[in-house]
Amino acid sequence: DTGVSQNPRHKITKRGQNVTFRCDPISEHNRLYWYRQTLGQGPEFLTYFQNEAQLEKSRLLSDRFSAERPKGSFSTLEIQRTEQGDSAMYLCASHYLQGIRGYTFGSGTRLTVV
């Protein structure tokens, strides 16, 4: 499988709980991105990694959000003390630094906070 894999596909959680999502990028891609998409909107940038280094974070990424990419391989996105406004599709994408084509996105994790 050469695609970007995201798990779980769906997550329903109660407000106040913590959730963690996982992304496995395409193996040779050294850049990894997290985006968030709400209904009727395009994806919004959250953060990106080059190898294991987190190089940029959007102001959308509040202190309740944390992302890691240990050893420059898979990545996790954790949301602490979830709020209803966190309900969205969380998309992961990967990209090869010198590539001229766009990102490859995963199918996303749909989070519903009840």
Partner 1 sequence: DQQVKQNSPSLSVQEGRISILNCDYTNSMFDYFLWYKKYPAEGPTFLISISSIKDKNEDGRFTVFLNKSAKHLSLHIVPSQPGDSAVYFCAASADGSARQLTFGSGTQLTVLP
What does the binding site for partner 1 look like in residue numbers (CB under 8 A)? 4, 31, 40-45, 48, 56, 91, 93, 95, 97, 100-108
By beta-carbon proximity to partner 1, the closer residue of 11 and 95 is 95
By beta-carbon proximity to partner 1, the closer residue of 21 and 103 is 103
Smallest separation (angstroms) from partner 1 to the CB of 103: 7
**Structure tokens, 79:** 């949301």
Smallest separation (angstroms) from partner 1 to the CB of 15: 25
By beta-carbon proximity to partner 1, the closer residue of 4 and 113 is 4
By beta-carbon proximity to partner 1, the closer residue of 17 and 55 is 55
3 state SS of 12: strand
Q: What are phi and psi of 79, to 5 degrees?
A: -120, 120
Place of tokens 């898979």: 74
Rounded to whole angstroms, the Cα distance separating 84 from 25 reads: 28
Smallest separation (angstroms) from partner 1 to the CB of 31: 8
**Structure tokens, 103:** 């990102």
Question: Comparing C-alpha atoms, which of 79, 87, 92, 109 is closest to residue 9?
Answer: 109
